[in-house]
Amino acid sequence: MQPPIPIPDQIGTVDLASWAVVPGPSNVDKDEHGAWAVTAGDEEQYALYFEVADAAHPRQVAEFIVEAVRAHATRLRLSAAFDDILRERERLRTHPAGADLYELDRSRVVAMMAQLGELAAEAYEPASASEQDAQTQRIYDEVTHLAALAVSWLEAIHARYGADGA
């Protein structure tokens, strides 16, 4: 039985590295003009599978689809991450100490490096199955916080020295 026709929401739920182009079952000789399939998920039980057969160059069409999906999903993930960083940056700016956000002193860099070290320790500490989601959320929140600080410092450098940092 073939998996159902994919829907856009599945793009983010299947590991992008698992997306592949394979010869269709009727294309045992791997003919460039035979049927080629786009697959995603475990090879034993694909989460997504569809064939490209009625095209002048089915393999090239299938490869284009895989690359387009990977690029689109990457842009969506980056956009979501940057949105979270900008929200945290705005939260930090409204904090009473927000004016210090743009200070470029050594103590702030040392504090950030200490936070990064604590984050690394937590990331490599195994969590129980019931605690994994909470641990992942804590790590994500901390990385978002550190990224917001870094972006604020970059803004301060741009403001003081120009867009090229020199």
How confident is the model at residue 65, as a pLDDT? 92
Q: Name 134's Cβ contacts closer than 8 Å, sequence gap at least 6.
A: 127
- Using 50, 70 and 90 to split pLDDT, how confident is the model at 28? very high
For the chain, what is the mean pLDDT?
Answer: 84
Q: Can you give the residue ranges of every domain in the chain? A: 8-71, 95-161
Instruction: Indicate the range of 62-66, 82-86, 95-99 predicted with least confidence.
Output: 95-99
- pLDDT tens digits along 40-80: 887 778 888 889 988 899 999 999 999 998 898 888 889 99
- Using 50, 70 and 90 to split pLDDT, how confident is the model at 166? low
- pLDDT tens digits along 129-157: 888 888 889 999 999 999 998 888 888 77
pTM for the predicted model, two decimal places:
0.69
As a whole-number percent, the residues of the chain with pLDDT over 70 amount to 85
Comparison of pLDDT for 142 and 98, the residue scoring more: 142
Q: Is the pLDDT of residue 14 over 80?
A: no
How confident is the model at residue 12, as a pLDDT? 62
